[in-house]
Amino acid sequence: MEQASSKTPQSSSRERIADIDIMKCIFIVLMVIFHLVYIGDSYPYAKKIVYTFHMTGFLLFSGYLMNIYKSWAAFAKTLLWYAIPYLVMEGGYILMAAVLPIREHIDQLTPAVFLDRLLLHPLGPYWYLQTLILCGLTYFAIFRIPKLSLHSRFLLLGGAFCVYAQWLHVISLSSGLYFLIGAILQQSHTPFNKLFQASPAALPVLALLILFPANLSSTYAGGIFIVYSVICTGMLLTKHLQGKTRTLFLFIGRNTLPVFLFSPIFTLLSKHLLPLVSIDPSGILFMLAALPLCLLGSFAMGWAMDATHISPLFFGKKKVLV
């Protein structure tokens, strides 16, 4: 979820890309909304549409932004600061699933089940970090093999992701695919807004694609076009955001990591707002109350970790909020 600087031999550094930050804001807000139990259950088709593109979009951004031009020690340190939040939050989620009557409830938690869920088959949303660590490590390692063409490296990377998905079942095929697309864009030195251009045509194309349930899978051709159309539509939005609205979108987009990590705590607490459904059965009033709770609660936890100097131990940096 964190946007790292991407470095290549031709470019020593890259500033944050505002368009990507705004897209990340949109995607993380949609993630929170459809993790709210009442909303997800009440709007299953809309949820399926969002699930076609939101996390695959994050993996595409991650492949594009990941800096592999580091030493082994420096890159291992980068992965360590993905692994610590993952192990803590996923471990807590597994324990919670064994105690609370949630959808992913574990009837009998044993050490073997705990380790399987923690290391191989995560519960809840934290699978993203596990996938990011595995894909990032593989990307880095393959690009350290000497005397290989760029084409051969990408063939090996795609093959490794297929093995992880089809034989080992530790990532999804779509996750590897979109991370790979992002890495290809990076290595081809393609500016993000060159491929994903703002286009008024993207919205009607997107509307047409989502009419057909068969397209609502990110691994199918229709799903790939949905991801592309959503990002192009979002890029159109970025051109029209101004003033405080743009500042708010950029802030959320820069700070998706604490929202991703801590929002499940607040989506669980938001169940106390469900009496609002008796006033508005559509759930819109409930969503308008629960969404700020989840976002502000996540930022408050990030701020508290910064203020108490926990962030360097948990995230590897002085402040998680930027």
For 24-43, the pLDDT digits (tens) are 999 999 999 999 989 999 99
Rounded Cα distance, 202 and 208, in Å: 10
Residue 131 CB coordination number (10 Å): 23
Computed on alpha carbons and rounded to an integer, the radius of gyration of the chain in Å comes to 20
Query: What are 241-276's pLDDT values in tens digits?
Result: 999 999 999 999 999 999 999 999 999 999 999 999
**How confident is the model over 298-320, as pLDDT tens digits?**
999 999 999 999 999 999 999 99
The structure tokens 């057909």 sit at 212
Q: What is the pLDDT, as a whole number, of residue 6?
A: 44
Around 111, how many Cα atoms within 13 Å sit in the side-chain half-sphere?
0
Cα torsion through 107, 110, 115, 117, rounded to 10: 0
* Predicted confidence (pLDDT) at residue 3 exceeds the cutoff of 90: no
The model's confidence at residue 15, banded by pLDDT at 50, 70 and 90, is low
Q: Of the candidates 78, 71, 69, which has an alpha carbon nearest to the alpha carbon of residue 12?
A: 69
